[in-house]
Amino acid sequence: MGLCKQTPVENERWGDALKSALRSRPRYILVGEIWTPETASQTLRAATSGHLVISTIHANSVEDALNSVIKYATAAGLQESLAADLLGRGILGCIHQKLEGTKVLRPALSCAFANPNPTIADQMRMIIRDGKINLATLMEAQMTKLYQNKPIFKEAD
Ranges of each domain in the chain: 14-147
> What is the spatial distance between Cα 51 and Cα 60, in angstroms, rounded to a whole number?
27
CATH topology of domain 14-147: Rossmann fold (3.40.50)
Q: Band the pLDDT of 36: cuts 50, 70, 90.
A: confident
Q: Is the pLDDT of residue 111 over 70?
A: yes
Q: What are phi and psi of 90, to 5 degrees?
A: -95, -15
Helix, coil or strand: residue 99 = strand
Average pLDDT, the chain: 88
Percentage of the chain beyond pLDDT 90 is: 56
